[in-house]
Amino acid sequence: MFFLLQPRLLLPVLVCLLCAFTWAQERNVILETFDFLRRGQIDANLENYDNNLQMEKEYDFIVVGAGTAGCAIAARLSENPKWKVLLLEAGGPESLIMDVPIVAHFLQLGEMNWKYRTQPSDRACLAMNNNRCNWPRGKVMGGSSVLNYMMYTRGNRRDYDRWAELGNVGWGWRDVLPYFKKYEGSNVPDADEDLVGRNGPVKVSYVNWRSKIADAFLEAVQQDGLQHRDYNGHIQNGVNYLHTTTRNSTRWSSNRAYLYPLKGKRRNLHVKKFALVTKVLIDPTTKTAYGIMVRTDGREHKILARREVIVSAGAINTPQLLMLSGVGPAQHLREVGIKPIVDLAVGFNLQDHTAPAVTFTTNATSLHFEDFADPTLVNRFNRQEGPYGSPGGCEAMAFWDLDHPQLKDGWPDIELFLVGGSMSSNPAISRAFGLKKIIYDSMFAEIEDKELNAFMIFPMILRPKSRGRIMLKSTDPQKYPLIYSNYYAHPYDVDISVRGVQKAISLINYPGFKKINAKVWNRRIPTCKGIEFGTRDYWECHVRHFTFTIYHYSGTAKMGPATDPAAVVDPRLRVYGIKNLRVADASIMPEIMSGHPNGPVFMIAEKAADMIKEDHGFKQ
């Protein structure tokens, strides 16, 4: 067991184990091995604070949730040495295996994932067990920035101008751009230089390793009419290899970005892991938040906040906690036995991006699980060689405005992103998505059995019109809330999703994909067999089955002006009707932005921290 004490030896040993297990075809053992290594290998450099911390009875600020937003906010508020800040996280520390981008699929199977599931649906998630989509969320220091696929986008400038048009003063593109630049530490060489941030804590880079499939994708997309460009720059419509929240082929989580540099330097910042906040304490008479209740160390603790409680628990946990605390739709709260303090539309406006992947075969080499066990890489191991730095096999993305194809600078409604492997490339993928065995066997087992090269294109809806809801199941904080995704409730979402599939398939007609002999994998979904393959009706059946979440849950504590009956927080992120209580995470988004929201959540956190400092008179 000596290697357990040697972090630099962990991944070569892991690769050797995987090699042996792959040859033996013992998938369950492989998964158990990953879980063992995940649980056993803590990166000492990322263990910023001693978890034997005895919390004080009172702090200036209490930040609930050490995810993408929470780590950033706690770090920024503790810049004032006169303020004491407590950051609470329900999960544990990061481990070494979480640093390795290629194993992103496996992380969804471990204890760092809340493992939420949507309620059953008869119009979406039809390929998943019990018609329920798995909804991963990070339960770990760094939150979902530790679980995600590290795909970095800002969205479109019109997204933020739209937020401002909805009455959210200070959230237009010109207002938020400085915060994007503040946190970005980009070394993307061809980024639009006047817009990119170079010196921030969140590292952004290209992945060194690229497959021939990714090269073919870029060629085909450009042959279709899009330009190769910085899609985080002036014009989003275009194609490029992924910008990723990585540096030197290492995941750059919020924890790593904001808290690691503070190790041993911020005595006024306390971090407590394995700490589940069960309630925000609110005086029902004055309607003022004054602290929290938290379960940790085997008992319940009451911690007071002199200034504010800031909830950054994400678009599922944030509305759950607010409702448990008496903040939410009054009728629903009464139905579950909670006395409402303020009647707000908490839990409504739930949004997500879905992407019904299409599979293609090719004569180019695609990713296979045994690639991680290449003995040549073991012998000269280094994450920058081979596929280790590839974020779950994701390699490139392109943005289209399908409704206005004539516009060079449109507002994209579809993103296509490429994964250089298939559902059968990795034993974790189908398990992470929760695919029914009959679906997997009929659709993908042949690819595995014949060891075919295959890849996937995910057509992601960027501006869905359907809205779901988070509701309480119980007054017990440890009971998961009810998640109603409401996917495809609006016909627009079905239409744009099908058109995205058709756009993805059309790319095989261009020379770029012809060079690698890309062909649509035409095995039919068993429950769609009565429909002619390749027709619009068939692809509608396809999208209703493969309703893959891209983990972008947002909107459940909507930001809006006082005139908006659906608003939960004002444009300064203060909860309506409650003093000293704010929300800062993806749940405040009035409308989901046109891209992957991890970057925009960093922006929200940076802006929130500045607003809090302003409101409490701190000038830097």
Active-site residue numbers? 552, 596
Burial of 451 (0-12, 13-18, 19+ CB in 10 A): exposed
Burial of 149 (0-12, 13-18, 19+ CB in 10 A): buried
How far is it, in rounded angstroms, from Cα 602 to Cα 72?
A: 7
How far is it, in rounded angstroms, from Cα 528 to Cα 533?
A: 9
Do the Cβ atoms of 80 and 157 come closer than 8 Å?
A: no
Do the Cβ atoms of 252 and 149 come closer than 8 Å?
A: no
Do the Cβ atoms of 342 and 578 come closer than 8 Å?
A: yes
How far is it, in rounded angstroms, from Cα 105 to Cα 84?
A: 37
Do the Cβ atoms of 394 and 417 come closer than 8 Å?
A: yes
Residues 6+ apart with CB under 8 A from 45: 260, 263
Do the Cβ atoms of 155 and 171 come closer than 8 Å?
A: no
Q: Using CA atoms in the order 68, 74, 76, 78, what is the torsion angle rounded to 10 degrees?
A: -160
In 434-523 the beta strands, taken as DSSP E runs, fall at 454-461, 469-471, 482-484, 519-520
How far is it, in rounded angstroms, from Cα 94 to Cα 255?
A: 8
Task: Give the H or E element holding residue 455.
Answer: strand 454-461
Sign of CA dihedral 557, 558, 559, 561: negative
Token pair 């460009």 is at which residue? 229
Q: Write the secondary structure of 152-172 as one string of H (helix), E (strand) and C (coil).
A: CCCCCHHHHHHHHHCCCCCCC
**Residue 140 annotated as binding?**
yes
Residue 575 forms beta bridges with which residues?
569
Structure tokens at 521: 């994998």
The total of other beta-carbon atoms located within 10 Å of residue 412's CB is: 25
Calculate helix-pair angle for 7-24, 27-40, nearest 10 degrees.
170
Do the Cβ atoms of 37 and 12 come closer than 8 Å?
A: no
In 202-267 the beta strands, taken as DSSP E runs, fall at 202-204, 238-241, 246-247, 250-251
| Binding residue positions for FAD | 140, 277
| Binding residue positions | 140, 277
